[in-house]
Amino acid sequence: MHIQAENLSIGYGSKNILEHVSFELEENKIYGLLGRNGTGKTSLLSVLAAFRKPKAGRIMVNGEEPFENAAVMETILFVYDSNLEDETEKVKKWLRMNAAFRPNYDHDYADYLCRRFNIPVNKAVKDLSKGLKSAVQVVDGLASRASLTIFDEAYLGMDAPARELFYEEVLKDYMEHPRTIILSTHLISEMAGMIEEVLIINDGTLLLQQDKEQLLERGTTVTGPKEKVLAFTEGKKRLKEQQLGSTMSIMIDAVLSDQEKQQAKAENLELGPVALQELFIHLTEGAEQHAG
């Protein structure tokens, strides 16, 4: 599914949460949407899923506006922390009812997933634990095979083995049935491996959209004798400094040239990678937050 967001403004009442947001999402790719608490991830995803209208700008999904467009809506699935407290239907029936709106729904796959997540399918949805309620929504999200599938912190309440299972199934099913997937998450270190392209929203707008591997090249940790590390990182954007005795480690935001890498090697400086979560923390550090 191809998505074009043009100069979006999103907000509530007179308050704008996001402004001047433009991006393009390609078909068959896994995107990671990252942002601090309250920056507007869920609000942006609700607009992408045509649950809400932007205050300004527009979204085009395969060249069509999705809002109140049934044909487009059935190809978009938004898994979010919806309130299932009053959902008296049994899991089995609830899944079947949702499937009716999903042309690509795979019932066998849904059954298989229910077994893998140990979901008691004859229980009412409202009576499931928090983690199993999330699992049921994940089952719905995966088995629907919607061309645009959005998982907005879909793992809430799931324990570590269940989350592992979720990640495993997303990747496996994506390989077999490629589609556009957006993962919005705070568990960056757990989910970084799945993400192909990163979008970071911060300070009321889109801070960056970049291929994950390219983004990771921006970060390097330089470790070695203090004087040498300080000299090597002079003039580069320093993100974090740590010192242990005479050894120093400085994290920099800079793409190093081959020449600089050779220089570091000649000076016995160790160059190491920076994890996506670390980069995210530093890229969004100190920004004004919109929470509240």
Ligand X SMILES: Nc1ncnc2c1ncn2[C@@H]1O[C@H](COP(=O)(O)OP(=O)(O)OP(=O)(O)O)[C@@H](O)[C@H]1O
Contacting positions for ligand X (CB under 6 A): 12, 17, 35, 37-43, 290-292
CB of 180 to ligand X, least distance (A): 19
> What is the CB neighbour count within 10 angstroms for residue 144?
26
Task: Write the single-letter amino acid at 133.
Answer: K
Cβ closest to ligand X, residue 82 vs residue 243: 82
Cβ closest to ligand X, residue 33 vs residue 239: 33
CB under 8 A, 24+ apart: contacts of 107-112: 107/143, 109/142, 109/143, 109/173, 110/139, 110/140, 110/142, 110/143
**Nearest CA-CA partner of 251 in 268, 267, 233:** 233
CB of 184 to ligand X, least distance (A): 7
Cβ closest to ligand X, residue 235 vs residue 292: 292
CB of 193 to ligand X, least distance (A): 21
Cβ closest to ligand X, residue 51 vs residue 167: 51
**Nearest CA-CA partner of 281 in 33, 36, 39, 31:** 36
CB of 239 to ligand X, least distance (A): 22
Cβ closest to ligand X, residue 17 vs residue 222: 17
CB of 138 to ligand X, least distance (A): 17
Cβ closest to ligand X, residue 44 vs residue 264: 44
CB of 64 to ligand X, least distance (A): 24
